[in-house]
Amino acid sequence: MPVREPKGEKPAGWRPRPPATAAPDRVEEARAGGSPRGLAADLAGLLGPGKVLGTVSDLVRYASDAGPYRFVPQAVAVPDSVQDIAKLMAYARRERRTLVFRAAGTSLNGQAQGEDILVDVRRHFSGVEVEAGGARARLLPGTVLARANAALARHGRVLGPDPASAAAATIGGVLAGNAAGPAAGTTRDSYRTVLSLTAVLPSGTVVDTGDPEADTALAAAEPELHQGLLDLKDEIEGDPELVARIRAGHALPNSAGYRLDAFLDAETPVQILRGLMIGSQGTLGFVAEAVYETLPARPAATAALLFFPALAAAAEAAPHFATAGAEAVELMDGRTLRAAAAVAGLPGEWAALPAECAALLVEFRAADETELAAYERAARRICDDLGLVSPVPTAANDFTRDRAAIARLWRARRAFLTAVGATRPPGITLACEDLAVPPGRLAEACAELLALLERHGFETAAVAGSAGQGTLECLLAFDAADPADVERYAAFLDDYCHTVTERLGGTPRARHGTGRALTPHLETVWGPAAVALMWRVKRLLDPDGILAPRVLLDQDPRGHLRGLKTLPAIEAAADPCTECGLCEPVCPSRELTTTPRQRIALRREMHRQGAGSPVAEALLAGYGAEAVDSCAGESLCAAACPVGIDTGALMRDFRRARRGRAEERAATALARHWRTAGRAARSTLAAAAAVRARTRPGDVLPDPTRTPQRGAAGPFGFLSDPPGAAPRLPHTAQRGAAAVYYPACANRLLGPARGRRGWVVQALVALAERAGSPLWIPPGVAGTCCAAPWRARGHEEGAALMANRAVEHAWGWTGGGRLPFVVDAQSCALGLGQGLVPLLSDANRELHEELTIVDAVSWTAEQLLPKLTVASPAGSAVLHPTCAGHRLAGPDAAGDDPLAVLARALASDVAVPEDAGCCGCGSLTAGVIAAATRPEAEEVAARPYELYLSADRLCEAALERATGEPYESVLVALERATRP
């Protein structure tokens, strides 16, 4: 029976047309109700309320990761402690169930997917503790790698592993797969830099390998395991041929199978266990904490993108740079470079590059500029003899120290999966294979790989790799819904593994982990004796087989062909998504409802289902609340996505699609009469403030935020203590003005927070006068807006009306663009500068191009601060950077953030929380805001500050609600601190 739509919901606006044939990997109709009731009840009773997810939407959104596999779990558990993990293991042993641990889901071979109980270990297992002045870092498994490095940066240290997915990948996944990266190789990966770890074994035993008494405790708690590890060590060490094979295999980056070299590198069972856990992909236990030895950060950098006529020529050159001391030597073929032309900030001319060309991204890092100059001289001498080519005008073939330019080059390399994936035909699945060979044989490996791809009909595959380490990645596409194409993929894998291992002396899995794809070929890599030992390790630690079955080890020779993921075509804006997950860390609703990747995964499942599917109906019924309405609409996902997929824009389209004509007319009328609406809102806020001033404790107050458009929630319903109305705009003169000042709607409507005086409009006018650069506020600003409130809620007509009106007025106020147009909220500066452009008429788009729109923080830092004096700086300040500020600066920003510049002028100690992120205030929804600000609020609460600063009225209100602290505009604080 179809699921009834919730009252007021109109999913017809996003109801897909059923495919002619339902996809083979669609969720079965019997699962429309979600998790089996008995299982869900058991887990809820075991873990407590709120720790079990079981709707069909929950199961679908956890079913995909960045790779070509897809398995829908029976239930998702969200434990929040090691004790919960132990309970789950005991339950799995008792009930003969299985567990798969999942953190960021950035893995490429199905390691984070399971068919029974999936355990989310990201949400409640995040934390960084820096020790010994930065020499060590104690990390929880849900900690994003980039977050850990941010904590270490202030100590001049960095973690060794540096995978391309560092912005999203978590420590648990990095350690479980022994992920490395361009600079890590075999010397800086987790296996070499993890000093100790705490593991929860399948038996429930907790082992802290850093505890001096750990071996004694393990022998007492698990005598068979303790002795079994010693026995395996003796057996391996007694076989010289096996020892030689293990040592040779790990001389290269090699993530296939278990780390049998742990038996050779360690003396005690506990230290053997430490080594085995790394790279075991969650099949031997749960790593609850890891202590990493950190490395000194080398701040000076120089890099170049060097173009070659062919892949082999680039591969042959790579060892020269590695020998000269390059930190990274990254190879990209012509197809990779052509795909990268679509990445923001990269040259569009790359799209015309010949497919047969290639490039090396070479980076040297040093402790200082003198050392860096020596590296550059050596590198240029190498370049002189290489026969470099310039296939496009932007092929400079020279080294640069410009941080923004270097960041752009790295974006091309790190976008390999997403950029190439975005070019695949609709409905086609991607698989990424990665190999390692001795670096001297890399050119030979390139030739063999290209021949292999051509032999199996994958001529359009793209190739990249860490050439300095002898690794290559190839990204190939096939149709997972076509059995013949699946067999072609299987034949390629078989040929690939034998070619790499037997002909090239390498490994077919360098850094991506065994996962599921390589399980039938482990014996090709290691030989039968070594694989038999791996099975014994698995049975010794996990005798009941409760952890990650069929991941890393599988007795089914065709097990790697199960669960291959179809990617049915969906809306054009989101169809290029490869489900890599890089968007998730920046999404403000990630802990509350869904992430951009999950919103897309749910859409794809709807498109897999046939006509009349109860699964599709169940997904549609919940999609409004779970995806569309909880999206803050800030489009941070587009900035985080290498190819700019804007899921926020898609959600806005869905909002528009469900609007009735009457609702659209009302929104347009509101835009047309915005001046009048603003007056009414200010009157309501003023009246409420007057009532509050006369009330006694216990009196019931009216809700000043109630409006006909939003009901009781109101446009500012998330404010914990709604302020009174803003004062009248100050009088300013047009004659002699240095710039036109545009106060944002929130600042025109909302006065200072209750109990405080500073109002950003008065503050900025005063600062400008004080610095001798007066501002003019045009009399007609009250009737205009940046159009973001209409655009965010899908009111296209109202948004277009307001956008065109704003640009026409701004052009006239600025004298045709002669004066800068200064906006006092960074979100509105972004909206006026970029967001409203698609809504403009052709004529107004030309006017817009003549405007210089600048946010007030940047203008103040550049134009006013040098002329102002802060008499007595505060001792400390904490700063909340805004999302809009990040986007205004652009992805390659390398200079000082103007918000930080102003804050440092105000306080001697300025802290930016490492967990600072989007506050979610664009959603105007208290639940999203609370979830988005919780990590930052917890960090801010760890110590007191004298100043709490930001640069957007709504962000300040959201952080004040989350922390209870008096957040204010940095401009208000600056005005107060520079008064004569």
Is residue 97, in this structure, part of any structural domain at all? yes
Same domain, 653 and 787: no
Banded model confidence at residue 655, pLDDT cuts 50, 70, 90: confident
- The residues pairing with 158 across neighbouring beta strands, listed in sequence order, are 295
- 550 has pLDDT over 60: yes
pLDDT-derived band at 185, boundaries 50, 70, 90 = confident
CA distances from 259 to 85, 178, 526, 533 (A): 24, 10, 11, 11
**Residue 442 lies inside a defined structural domain of this protein:** yes
pLDDT at 768 over 50: yes
More confident call, 459 vs 724: 459
Both 698 and 824 in one domain: the answer is yes
Q: How far apart are CA 346 and CA 356, in angstroms?
A: 20
Beta bridge partners of 77: 52, 119
Q: Is residue 499 part of a domain?
A: yes
DSSP β-bridge partners for residue 675: none
Average pLDDT over the chain, rounded to an integer: 91
pLDDT of residue 11: 57
Q: Which residues of 440-472 are buried (b: 16+ CB within 10 A; e: fewer)?
A: ebbbbbbebbbebbeebebeebbbbbbbbbbbb
Q: What is the mean pLDDT of residues 379-398?
A: 87
Given this model, what pLDDT does residue 485 score? 96
Asked whether the predicted pLDDT for residue 632 surpasses 90, the reply is no
Average pLDDT in the 492-497 region?
Answer: 97
- Claim to verify: residue 828 and residue 874 sit in the same structural domain: no
602 within some domain? yes
Domain count, the chain: 4
Q: Work out the average pLDDT over 765-771.
A: 97
Is 222 a member of any domain? Answer: no
CA distance 866 to 861: 8
- Residue 2 pLDDT more than 50? no
Question: Does 431 lie in the same domain as 497?
Answer: yes
Instruction: Look at residue 675 and tell me if it is in a domain.
Output: no
Q: Provide the pLDDT for residue 694.
A: 56
User: Same structural domain for residues 905 and 947?
Assistant: yes
Point out the domain boundary residue: 471, 495, 512: 512
Tell me the CB-side half-sphere exposure of residue 618, using CA atoms within 13 A. 21
pLDDT of residue 674: 87
Contact 692, 701 (CB under 8 A): yes
Q: Among 512, 534, 553, identify where a domain stops.
A: 512
Q: Containing domain of residue 353, as a range?
A: 300-512
CA–CA distance, 310 with 389 (Å, rounded to integer): 10
Same domain, residue pair 925 and 843: no
Burial letters 706-740, b for 16+ CB under 10 A, else e: ebeeeeebbbbbbbeebbbbbeebeebeeeebbbb
First to last CA, the chain: 74
Query: pLDDT per residue over 670-725, tens digit each?
Result: 888 888 887 777 777 666 655 555 555 444 434 433 333 333 334 555 555 666 78
Q: Are strands 300-308 and 358-366 parallel, antiparallel or unpaired?
A: antiparallel
Sheet strand arrangement including 429-436: 300-308, 358-366, 328-333, 462-466, 471-478, 429-436
Examine the fold and report which residue of 800, 833, 852 is the final residue of a domain before the chain moves on. 852
* Composition of the chain by helix, strand, coil, percent to 5: 45, 15, 40
Residue 308 lies in a domain: yes
Does residue 921 surpass a pLDDT of 70? yes
The band of 926, judged by pLDDT with boundaries at 50, 70 and 90, is confident
The answer to whether residue 792 scores a pLDDT higher than 90 is no
Do 706 and 628 lie in one domain? The reply is no
| Percent share of the chain, pLDDT over 70 | 94
Over the stretch 252-272, which tens digit does the pLDDT of each residue have? 999 999 999 999 999 999 999
Return left, alpha or beta for 257; rule: phi > 0 is left, psi -120 to 50 is alpha, else beta: left
**909 and 830 in one domain?**
no
Same domain, yes or no: 782 and 868 = no
* Domain presence at residue 576: yes
CATH number (domain holding residue 45): 3.30.43.10
Q: What is the pTM of this model?
A: 0.92
Same domain, 866 and 848: no
Whichever domain contains 464, its CATH number is 3.40.462.10
Please give the distance of CA 185 from its chain centroid, rounded to a whole number: 24
The verdict on 836 and 966 lying in the same domain is no
In 3D, which of 715, 687, 723 has the Cα closest to residue 789?
715
Cα separation, 117 vs 43, in Å, equals 10
Is residue 47 within 8 A of residue 87, CB to CB? The reply is yes
Are 843 and 894 in a shared domain? no
Looking at per-residue pLDDT, the higher value among 924 and 432 belongs to 432
Task: Report the relative pairing of strands 128-131 and 136-139 from DSSP bridges.
Answer: antiparallel
pLDDT at 708: 33
